[in-house]
Chain A
């Protein structure tokens, strides 16, 4: 599997990079404070709302937005659309970074992280009723799988490295990896199918605490379908941004085609969500027009409208509306996840949650770290395909 990807080069310590590192530095200080003083003083969390944005955003939403690798892999490897191959590496990179950041965030969020290593190893203690156990095992494995999937991007330049050990290692590992990679790619599709659905399944255990508009046995299916849509959207979003910021030829035709692939996913979500609400007899609740009902309607519209916009052919060809629909799709999935985990979650009277400032800064800091890592890697390693490849893959005009 050769690729036409090239490192884009350029300086690392640009002004935006320095700004990001300041935010990350602040977050590191706050994380130190959190480990010294406990979670309470740093966050808005309480016994009523034990899960906040570190879970609902960094983990639940963050990994869904990092499903680009999963979504593009389905397209390229299962539906055999080789033309999208140049999108695989950037998608896998954002996935690897997104999931790694989610893992870091979890390490900050859990109260007793020094016991976490037992989760994958102490199999005799595994509670097979625990959906969280499945999520934890799958996500941990998937982080490893993603970096293995991405490893050719690091090994390629090392094959000709002047440093002898690196060179030897790269030349030994590459043929083995070439043969085994297919099975890791398959694993890279199996694992998100399992854990993205299970992440939705987590809230099934809370029964009456989640509003009936969101509490349903099809939570796993809805989370799975929506994460694919968010993954595609994130790939479109990220390609458009890197085209702008790195002054590269926009991969417009490919993005347009990719956006075409997301339409059935969005429509499937809307059909399942509405169907579920109707079957469970909650249609009246949907149109109660109180706060939660309006949020549910907003979610549905945010999935439906991009699908309709993209269905109109013009919408697919125009870079601006491609970018805008991608943002709406990402926000739609984000809102659905925030609602399920926080807004529609009601532990009873007397409890309220809003993230505290340090809590938010830690989240921003981890996102900053993610962007910094992305910048360093695309500048130094072959991730992004060159413009001429894009033109060839886009077909003849």
Chain B
């Protein structure tokens, strides 16, 4: 049966949608294959499905999260949690990961800002310490190991300009 002009137009639009989305999704695979994260969420909702992609080995430290401590002038250290800073676990992990790598823009600056705005008694802190979790993976499950301080971030208060 011959198609009407309206049907031909509809089929064309649908074909464009179906073909476009499937080809775009397939086109992410070569980028993933060479470990190129350039797509990330730029073309959202077309994304690379690269969750849980990193291999891990026996004895590796579990970088599930990091410990954040705020140090007062008298040397007393207080642990800050993502709940205390009213952050989701995802942002907490992301910002602390960047901060532990010394990344100013994505880690240290937003972390200092969040602590300044949200941590109880923030004006008393002189520095922040980011430490690794004291856990590693073994054949028999998790095992505790000593924690390591990854970075120390000095805090300068806006009002006084001094620690």
A binds B: no
Q: Which residues of A contact B (CB under 8 A)?
A: none
